[in-house]
Structure 1
Amino acid sequence: MSTPHAILIALLEKPSSGYDLARRFDRAIGYFWQATHQQIYRELGRMVAAGWVSVMDDAAASRKKVYAVLPVGRDEVARWVRETPLGPNERNVFLLKLRADAVIGPLGLAEQLARLVRENRARLAVYREIEQRDFGAAVLSRGQALQYAILKAGIRTQESWLAWAAEVGPLVSDASPDA
């Protein structure tokens, strides 16, 4: 659902050929948003047809086409950021929205971040309850120790994400779409 928007955001950052865009997904964007080269080329064709991006020949390279976002494509990214709800495990979609905010924002992401923080705090509280209920014994069996290790991974993930969100919060809190 968000792959076209990931591509638009990447093109807003830097107009690119399909090949260069695919390489950027392989190197940087791909660490939090996956897209195959086939998906990228297929979506580029759809975006050209939809009028979201333009394509021009690169004067510096023969037979190379460069894609750039048109104003309607920029508007589509802003609409997507503001209107697409986040599911409970869609942190990477939020990261993609932050990337859009960085290039065309501010887009008013404070409430979305606040909701994710509430959800992650609630999940951390559940994990802590499980920890107290199930792993309070002085000696744990091997199986229990492994289960506890898994739970601790979840606890640390939540704590780390919440610490990150606390750092990001001030960057989006005053950033209203009208600013």
Structure 2
Amino acid sequence: MPVRLSTTSYVVLGMIALRGPSTPYDLKRAVGHSVGYFWHFPHAQLYSEPDRLTEAGLLDRVSEEDGRRRKTYSLTGDGRDALRAWLASPTDEHFQMRDIAELKLFFNEVGDPADVPRLADEQIAQHRARIAEYEQMVERFGDRPEAGPRMITVELGLEMEYAALRFWQALAKDDLDGLRAARRAGRLA
């Protein structure tokens, strides 16, 4: 029976395809500096998933004989084929956003109304910080041809951060009507 591949499976396969042979620790660091900005999952999975993918024949594993006994994984031909098939297949899943601040906003009617302005101020600061981080990435890597495809995800991240910043700023100013009007007029589309 074929193994069922999860999104985490494809993160592992994709990271090894980009980086070359990697230990789970290498994967954790690479994810933290790349897809971890927009795809959150328990990083403990980066330690268990490579063994599962090895059993499925999608990765090869080399273990150190002594010392720390690190395991280094590399992509097999079947692993590369599985990754390419996944990349080529359309995605019909709806965009997922797991935002704790949005969850708190949803349930706030049972909380203290004073929490909303504090939450908005907090979110404004966080989104500005993330925008600055993304802008630094664009400044550092945006002109490098080899960074091209990955920089597209940074651009998407920037757009999402700016949209979230506009929302929280409008909420902080109690001007959601102004935000709605700008969107209807096509100024935010």
TM-score norm. by structure 2 comes to 0.47
- Which of the pair has the greater relative contact order for Cα pairs under 8 Å at 6+ separation? 1
